[in-house]
Structure 1
Amino acid sequence: MNFPDHLYTALKQKGIITFWDDEKLEGGKYISEELLKAIEESKYVIIVFSTNCAFSKWCLIELTKIVECMKKTGLTVLPVFYHVDPSDVRNQRGTFAEAFAKHEEDIKVNTEDMQAWKAALKDVGHLFGWHVHDRHESIIIQKIIGRIFSELYHKLPSVFEDLVGMDSRVEEMLDSYIGEGLGGVRFVGICRMGGMGKTTLAHEIYRRIFGNFEGRSFIANIREKTKNQGLVSLQKQLLSQILMDSGINIWDVWEGINVIRKTLCKINVFIILDDVDGDEQLEALAGKHDWLGLGSRIIVTSKDSHLLKRCSVDYIYTAKKLNNDDALQLFSWKAFHKPYPEENYVNLSKDFVNYAKGLPLALKILGSSLFAKKLKEWESALYKLKKEPNRNILDILQISFDGLTNSEKGLFLDIACFFKGENKDCIRDILESFYYSLNYDIGVLMNKSLITIYDDGTLWMHDLLQDMGQEIVCRESPKERGGRSMLWIYDDIIHVLKNNSGTEVVEGIMVNIPIQKVEHLSAEAFSKMKILRLLKISSDKLPRGFINGLNYLSLLKWHGCQLKCLPTNFQLNKLVELRMHCSGIKQLWNGNMNLDNLRLIDLSDSQNLIEMQDLSGAPKLKQLIFRHCTRLYQIHASIEDLKQLIRLDLNGCKCLGSLPHKISLEALEILDLGGCSRLKKFLEIVGNMSRLSKLCLSETAIKDLPLSVEHFTSLIELDLRDCKNLSSLSNACCCLMSLKILTLSGCSKLDEYQRIWVISKA
């Protein structure tokens, strides 16, 4: 029987220290001290039952001692029934009965020994084991080794003491994506931004289950190795590790593919391909499922989820950031070499953990840099970190950024410096004006885990990715701040404006706190910024004429502007959004302006605005917002020309007594006239306003609704709250089949009609 020999060889090849009694011991009546010690020190004992094994008194004596240790010490016994029925072992039938009949004839065997042998056979015969009968012995050997590895390595602690928060992730992967019971060949991706622990997770899974497979290979840093060594070297590494043969020769990628396909298609393998960033890497190493034997598992780690999808990965697991407790523990392992911080360092440790935002890479780097440092050094390091992000962290995060196209890089930097936290749809027009292929470019940034879009449309990115983007901009001109494309730090902006050091490379300025009057600041401070496209500023102290010559502006957001009218020489032909809250504007401009690109005007809380002038020069306008412009009394008839207008917001315009008599705004979705307390008559609708979904007329002086409301076939929300003069609802309201929210509270003259309306809608 060659089975034990093959099993022993396979165990040794897997690196499992194995003791085989047949190799070292001679049989006898009493079990030797050497064998007893071997059994007691072992974690597992594999017993191979053959048709003739019971004829050996030595085997039966050894079996009895093994069962004794199993009951006393918890030794794990794994029986193999080699062409033997387990029931024959349990009940001593067949050749086992013949063996015991022979032992009964032996005067040297006493009854007590016989009973002990039979009890041992019965106990082991009831254990879970493997029945080798008309099956490939190699498969059974692999299952035995897999059982030992899965238990042995799962119980052993990781060699990394700082491996925290990993067990639940490993178990989730094993149970849901990789488990043996799932069958077939499975490709599983692990994806997320750099530094999130993808490689660590893959390595821990590999450590626990690689023994379950006939062959295994872990190829790390594929992105870097492809650049430095080429794909052929990776193919050689894969085959060498799986076949345990260092002499494999491959001359080109195509030959390597053929060798891999032909060699591995019958082998059950476990492969980790770490940090894949190109389709050609997967195609060269594990291109298709049928290249590998049944039961094979391939884990691919990558920062690019789209790459995983287009390479037909079966499942993608998104690596998770660490929670606060695990993050503090990981940081503490690096900073203190124990799982919790020193007493005097708890608060500072939490500050660093909060900065890392659950990113394992940052926690390890920051913790290691602070090991054995004094408290003052910690405080200094934290202060420095807020001014200058850790370069080691940023360099790793920047790998994904470096692989982007110029357009994708520009979009990422715009989001990092200006638009993080904004709604994607709300800034779509602005971003598209910069010639981004917005849907595609945003998709690329999401696939590479550089940005996230929440369900409500909010653009977001990890704080450290934002730091990385802003640091890239700072590196454009480390010493002279006016030589950077983006300015968002208050002190930097004041420095540039005060010293007139802005240059033609400046594309964006954003400051969220009010700029106070700066001594000697003149209009020339902006004169060199010829291609400034984004200006978000809050100040009523800026000098007159500073916006003259800023002809490339796409966004002008100027809170507290005290101009009464925009200057006539201010070119608005590239402007997409004009936001001037709390301004002193009486009228935006004189005459008619060329505003072909303008999509939004927002003059909310501009108390001096008295009229909305001619807008016929802005045919693509989508949003008009004049909330709480309390002196606005007139809307220009040119509003009729705004065929793309989606939102008209005049809420709180208390002096507005009338609207253009007739209107046809077929694209309009939101019309808010709430708080227009002098408005007595709702406009007459001409044409089909079938897209209107929200209409607010609360606190107006209207008496009734015109029949034309029947055109509002998509109306979902109608707010008539506190319309104290409203005495009737148009019969056309009965046609509003999409209406879900109707607010009539405070309509004191409408009590009876309200009851009838509710009944009819029900």
Structure 2
Amino acid sequence: MMTRLDIDYSNGQAIEVRRNEARMVGIHGIGGIGKTTLVKLIYNQLCPLFEGCSYLGNIREILKTESLEHLQSQLVSDLLKQEPIGLGSLEEGIYYIKHRFRSMRVLIVLDDVDERNHLKAFAGKLSWFGSRSRIIVTTRNADLLNIPDVVVTYEVEPMEIDQSIRLFSLHAFGGSSPNKGYDDLSRDIVSTTRGLPLAIEVLGSFLYRKTKEIWRATLHELKKETVDSVQQVLMTSYESLDQGTKDIFLDIACYFIGKDKRIPFYMWEDCGFYPCTGIESLLLTSLVKIGENNELLMYDLLRDLGREIVSKEDPANHGRRSRLWNHEEACDTLRSKKGTKRVQAIRLKFANGSNNCFTREEFQRLSKMRFLKLDKANIRGDFTNLLSNLRWLDWQGCPTTFEAVNLHLKKLAILDLSWSKVTQDWEGWSQIKMPRLKVLNLTGCNEMLITPNFSGYPLLEMLILEGCFQLVKIDPSICHLRSLVSLNLKSCSNLSMLPPDIGKMEALQELLMDGTSIQEIPVSIARMKKLKTISASNCYSLTYLPKSIGYIDALSMLLLDNVKIPELPNSIGSLMKLKRLSLRDCRGIQKLPESIGKLGCSLLELDISGTLISELPDSMKNLRLLRVLKMERCHVRQFPSAIGRLRKLEEIHASRCRSLEGSIPSNIWNLQVLKTLILGYSGVSSLPSSIQSLSRLRTLDLLPCDKLEMLPMLPSSLTCLRVSSKKMSIIPDIQNLVELEVLSFGNENPKELTVPPAAIDARSTWTKQQSLWPVRFPKLKSLELFHSKIINLGFEYGSACVPQLKKVALTGTNLQGVSGLPSSLSVLSFQACLSLKSLPSVHNLIYLSELELLNSAVQVIKGLGGLTSLEILVISNCWIEHLDGLSKLRSLKRLSLRNCNSLNNLPDVSDLTMLKVLEIHRCRLIHDIEGLEGLTSLEELHVSKCKAKRSSRVRQAQERIRRRLRTSP
């Protein structure tokens, strides 16, 4: 039985980041159910905890056009935080991954895997990665996860009707429930979506502000038995678009998922598709998303819908369709000369060494083509009067020799030569006529030492040179590109100098030079009056900022992470439009200039984390619009007394500020919009009582703050509370935190604790037994307690409350009793509970998938046989005497018993037909294991330091496993 994983349970607890062993977790479910959304959220939350991270998304679709070696290279690049390396073969990639990351703690997401050999190419064995590594795999095929290394699998199931109504209402009404008079109609419409979040979101967006007549007509269409309701939902939304927006939607579905949205805009504008209003319509109808990096995103089901629409234009003849994205179909159309003027776009993607040359005859009939992708292809011959409507030529991996003649692309707006071996002497620069070129992409052109002369492209607006590692010089002609808006020099690691006259590019709005060797920014930069973004993170040679930077009137973002500058110029205070300033890990900076207070009308985010700054200037009080203040790992000794004047602050991140001591100022109560306060690993000794008035505070992290002696009453708005302190002498009264979803609370060798008078109620159990610590939080999902003076723990939910608790992890040498465990639990862990001899009966925990007992005095597990969903049972260093009910755990996949010397024997395991891993170590009284011969799913059997190791049953079972592994593909 698979574990149910609700979509709103997305805090990353499922993968148990604190476990020492490497783990692989599988998540499966139908298309559109929300698997990718879920793992992206988990990935973003957990990334900071790992040495290396890689998210390989949309693998099934990418492998239609890319090789496994390409994705292996991306995985290696991500984990090492360096540029991609060349992997000559699949086997070479496997060998490299297997041996390079054995001692490295990594987080890897493999999203949308549909073949087992694809999984083996990236993470064939957990032994390839260091301890505490985590690999998360999503797939539509649950059988793919049936391998030994996947310790637990989760099924993302359709949304319940109440959840569906809330999501639908958010998009249809802009609230959490239907408007008056729409309750029944909303419920009827939502019932047709099969609980798919995508269909609910699209349908709600489509019906937003529509009349009831349209609602009823839509419901009528959706209820037709002959129609797939989900497909009809998506199709209805598509049909409501105007023609230009439909074209944009189909272009994205066929070609541009993951592309920077700015680039296709140039083509769409030139073709009269009105992309500004078109993209807005697609966003409003939830047919397209825009990612964090401005990239176009689309759900798989919507992508498939778009491609199906194009395929139905002429099912029998590829050459009469508007778009050809499949390589074989596109190649066949060209080779057979069956293309027609209906073809607007073609994508060809060859491998090295293929027969990949085309001549003018194969393009002769394609007079309306506006997009052409020719990866690793060549064109030869006279192209006079051909491709006259082409707006975008994507020619990645183009040949070094140019064989076309008269290639006059008069309407071309975008030329992409990424990952090609072109140099400044490439013949194409002079042979291709592109007077209207707006975008030139030379990403990864590693043979290029000097850029080409740009004088032939006077209208150029975007120039991308990212990852040109060998580039040492930019041709001075770049300074005459008076229309250039964006210049991307990221990771040009050998580039040490910008042209001195760069300031002549007065239209430039974005200058990206992260990871270069640039030593200084030219003084002429002050002439760039429209420049909005300077990003120079990881420019290790940059040691100086010119004072003239303060004269860039439009500058709104200045990112200088990990730069060697010793100080900011005082002129920084003149940047009256600066919204974001990041100095993260600028270890040479010891103070901020007083002039920073002049940014009070603009600055929204300030990051001084990892600097040597020990005191914030008094002028900080003037930053009245500041929303985010990050000062992690810096030397700040105390919060400025005027912090209460920063009334717009929403987030304060001050973790690991070990010099930060004393009290938080009482005027923090002025920060009425504060949502996040993170002070972990600091010397903060007290919080003011006024913190209770922060009615929007959601996250308070004080884990650990070992000088903290007590907590005041906290605001009831908190959803996440993490706190621990060696000095905390009073158990905090937190029973008012009814919104709590995550609670982590504990201490280390604390002084005697007492119960605060406010917590004592004559009607409560406190009067009967003061050592009982009650848990009554109705929305709590995760609870971690590691407090040595909590003697008894009781879960006290009222009859009207439906517990949401999924995970409970308890650690405490003095914990003696636990009562009332809710049936909603999926993970239950006890560690170092040396006084806990008996667990409450667990027979009611029907959703429990994982039970862990470590270093505890537990002797018996009552109701073990009732854990029908249990997949993992781990018992180590416990006084457990017997495991009655073990044979009933039909869902069990992993059983691990270590150092259980009171355990006399195991019940017959023959009924544990799902068991994949069985480990028994130092359990000296176990003589044999009955029923092994019936475990056909068993893939790992480890028995050591106990008498059962010599059992004939064990030896025969191990031999059967070895034979099976040798013969498996």
TM-score by length of 2: 0.37
**Greater Rg over alpha carbons, structure:** 1
Determine which structure has the larger strand proportion and give its number. 2
Determine which structure has the larger helix proportion and give its number. 1
Higher relative contact order (CA 8 A, sep 6+): 1
